[in-house]
A = this chain, B = another copy of it.
Amino acid sequence: MENKNRYNEILTKEGFKKTKHRTDILEILYNSDKPLSAEEIYLYLKQNDSSISLSTIYRNMDRLIERNLVIKNTLFNDNKARFEISRKNHKHHIICLKCNKMIEIDECPFKELENKIKNETGFEIETHKFEIYGYCENCKDNKK
């Protein structure tokens, strides 16, 4: 956690109060290379001598998502929401169907495609989701 003040300015501008919980959540997501569930955030704080209630996490997520500071990710198959920081350069992942290991995919090759689809459908495009699923090297010979 190098810079606890990373989000101070933005929080003020967006009308948020700067609370410890809010900055904690944002820092955890900022420093994570993968989307985290509410429970994962909860446990992280617990293991680092802090404490927070799950309802506080969910309530903050709602507001941070509204202001586009956080993105809700439902790409796993366990019906559990995960959250990630909204970054200028978003990332996609490849996810192991057995152990849930995730590796980032560097490129996002969808800019052209989005333009094409915008023209064809008249949609105003906000975002997209793309993830690949399979079995990682450790799991692929032992899928069950």
Contacts and interface: CB of A to CB of B under 8 A. Distances in A.
Contact of A123 (B96, B109, B130): B96
Interface string A121-144: 111111111111111110010000
A80 to B, nearest CB: 8
A126 B135 contact: yes
A121 B103 contact: yes
Interface of A: 72, 74-77, 79-81, 94, 96-97, 103, 105, 107, 109-110, 113-114, 117-118, 121-137, 140
Contacts of A131: 128-129
A81 B113 CA distance: 27
A81 B127 CA distance: 20
A132 B136 contact: no
B130 A130 contact: yes
Given A74-B79, A129-B129, A129-B130, A135 B123 contact: yes
Contacts of A122: 136-137
Given A117-B105, A131-B129, A132-B123, A76 B77 contact: no
A137 to B, nearest CB: 4
A125 B132 contact: yes
Contacts of A72: 77
